[in-house]
A and B are shown apart, each in its own frame.
Chain A
Amino acid sequence: MKFTLSEEHEMIRKMVRDFAKNEVEPTAAIRDEEERFDREIFNKMAELGLTGIPWPEEYGGIGSDYLAYAIAVEELSRVCASTGVTLSAHTSLACWPIFKFGTEEQKQKYLRPMAEGKKIGAYGLTEPGSGSDAGGMKTTAKDMGDHYVLNGSKIFITNGGVADIYVVFALTDPESKHKGTTAFIIESDYEGFSVGKKEKKLGIRSSPTTEIIFQDCRVPKENVLGNVGEGFKIAMMTLDGGRNGIAAQAVGIAQGALDHAVEYAKNRVQFGKPIIANQGISFKLADMATSVEAARLLTYQAAWLESAGLPYGKASAMAKLFAGDTAMKVTTEAVQVFGGYGYTKEYPVERFMRDAKITQIYEGTQEIQRLVISRML
């Protein structure tokens, strides 16, 4: 048993940390304010190989592993949670299912350009009437012989509108629900595919969240991902790994807020001494640091298990549950340490607090994580 990270992992952390500090952090507040996605940042991540961390070089990746990917999402989210989720949705939700279930042709055609960062990926599962109950979807895919025709709409799509490739789920057999669900790879310029309204959100505002609409959208047969009827399984397995990404995002948000709070507490003088000299503040920071460390270990464990080819479903649900709750708690306390200033946009902690909330909701709400965990007890 050894918890120490390898040199390769430490190198990736350092590289991403430098990149995040120099290229992501300076514009994080203004992108949040303007709800603006910056493709240029994604392109720069591509140059560094960050858009394809866990995939073999033959598919355009850098041949590292899921732990390195988790570290990258964590470091990005430490300065900008929106950038963190852009990479997480791209890697875990779009690239992963194609890597896992795609044909060699699909991998070359779709995974490679995504891993190389030439294209952005997204994932379409949720519908207005089908959130946690993913089996209740209504989008249909009708078999027309040599192609399928999709009709319906999906909501809350991360990277919606900016993505080039979408992994979406539709009913090929509406009668059999779960077993009638099939996964498809959709290109953004397919006829009948359109991007609907863009959500205004509490947080992760520089990550676009949109509706996507299928109106007699014609999809070639070779774009079925996995087998017909296998979609629900693919969707659920994809979310297991996606949870690692969100856990890593939550750890990054929490660590970023903690860093700001510690620095502020050391410099802010009240009653003639830095406020960190009060145990009311220093013990709060100690509790925050302990929770962040626990969340990080749970997250790395889940990512390590996936990298080692071991079962990780329970571990990733635990990581996401604990890290999401930690992010919310730690960012709220960070705002508290900053006092009135923390409530203003002059300091970044209010953004971290707004961003933290989503980690308790997406990729399976905390309640769904508890359901997953309790079924495995």
Chain B
Amino acid sequence: MNLLFTEEQKMVQAMVRDFAEKEIAPFVPRMEDGEFPREVLKKMGELGLMGIPIPAKYKGSELDFISYIITIHEISKVSATVGVILSVHTSVGTNPILYFGTEEQKEKYIPKLATGEYIGAFCLTESSAGSDAASLKTRAVKSGNQYILNGSKIFITNGGEADVYIVFASTNPELGKNGITAFIVEKDTPGFIIGKNEKKMGLHGSKTIEIILENVVLSEDARLGQEGEGYKIAMANLEAGRIGIAAQALGISEGAFSLAAKYAQERHQFGKPIIKNQGISFKLADMATNIEAAKLLTYRAASMKSEGKPCGKESSFAKLFSSRTAVEVTNEALQIFGGYGYTKEYPIERYFRDAKITEIYEGTSEIQKLVISKHL
């Protein structure tokens, strides 16, 4: 056991922290107004942050998984929106091509994704296939050496902004999840229609889009992996995705906590800073303790992932605990700000709104409990 970051990991942390404060924080108001942070992502691409765990031969930064988690964590302290854009882009937008793509597919897409020239997205969820992903209805019918895709997807993060989409469709509905196949679809493919952008409680500036597939014709070259391998591909990166969201939730918690701790020291009532009341200071102590636990669970899962060990249970522990902590901590942080916390004058209500999604996406908390209970 050695719980200290390596020198390289510390450098990544310092670099990302600095970038988040200087480049992301000023952009937050524009994201709150709904603007996608394309300018920020471009700069992140220049710094190598859009392809952290990707091998250098595909123009990635070739850093370890822990460095990737550090990046999501640090960015989400400032902006959960940029945190999730990066997480989706890397974990489920790029990695499936890296793990399951042909050499041709890798060379075609990964260097552009890893440098931020392209943004990636992942299209699995449908209106009636959420936690029960295997029940998806989008069809891919083989016709000669082509596939014709029809159906619709919802809640697609980075939708409309992304250039490359990993799309899941059934090539053989009778086989259930074993009939699902993955495809790489480029944005400008005819019949690939960008639908409505969801209005959301939080994560403003990130796009959550409906995608409609209307007779989308793809060549066999666009198929990712083999026919029927789609469900495996969708689930393969589940652990990384969950650890990523655990890190996002951790960043949200820490961001809200430091604002609340600072406010509690500065805000005077009854002639003293409010932190002098145990009603406030003990609340902060509990928040800090839960954040520490969330951090350990997240980095423990990340370190196992980094070592290539199975970490299904551990990533669910991290996701479940860290997201719950984010919701609790942001709620308590807002409480410390009192009436001011409820206004847009302070950023705390944004953290509060952003936190909630972490209990829902990449497997709801209930799904995490299902996973954990199967390991008992």
Contacts and interface: CB of A to CB of B under 8 A. Distances in A.
Interface stretch (B24-32, B76-84, B153-161, B281-289): B281-289
A369 B294 CA distance: 19
A287 B365 CA distance: 10
A289 B289 contact: no
B142 interface: no
A16 to B, nearest CB: 17
A1 B303 contact: yes
Interface residues of B, number: 41
Contact of B299 (A1, A283, A295, A315): A1
Interface residues of A, number: 39
A322 interface: yes
Contact of A370 (B282, B314, B370): B282
Contacts of B9: 1
A287 B5 CA distance: 29
Contact of B373 (A282, A305, A367): A282
Contact of A283 (B2, B261, B286, B369): B369
Given A294-B317, A297-B297, A321 B285 contact: yes
Interface in B143-195: none
Interface stretch (A4-12, A30-38, A95-103, A208-216): A4-12
A289 B282 contact: no
B376 A293 contact: no
A6 B2 CA distance: 10
Contacts of A286: 320, 368-370, 372-373, 376
Contact of B320 (A5, A67, A290, A315): A290
Contacts of A67: 1
A90 to B, nearest CB: 24
A163 interface: no
A325 to B, nearest CB: 9
Given A2-B1, A282-B369, A297-B293, A377 B317 contact: no
Q: Is the interface of B mostly helix, strand, loop or mixed?
A: helix
Interface string B349-376: 0000000000000000010111011011
B297 A373 contact: no
Contacts of B366: 279, 283
A3 B293 contact: no
Contacts of A374: 275, 278, 281-282, 284-285
B300 interface: yes
B297 A5 contact: no
Contacts of B307: 2, 4
A67 B3 CA distance: 13
Contacts of A167: none
B292 interface: yes
A115 interface: no
Closest 5 A/B residue pairs (Cβ): A282-B373, A374-B281, A297-B296, A286-B369, A286-B372
Given A297-B296, A370-B286, A374-B282, 15 more contacts: A1-B4, A285-B373, A285-B376, A286-B376, A290-B297, A293-B317, A294-B294, A295-B293, A298-B293, A304-B3, A318-B289, A370-B281, A371-B281, A373-B289, A374-B281
Interface of B: 1-6, 9, 66, 261, 275, 278, 281-282, 284-286, 288-290, 292-294, 296-297, 299-300, 303-304, 307, 314, 317, 320-321, 366, 368-370, 372-373, 375-376
Interface of A: 1-6, 9, 67, 262, 276, 279, 282-283, 285-287, 289-291, 293-295, 297-298, 300-301, 304-305, 315, 318, 321-322, 367, 369-371, 373-374, 377
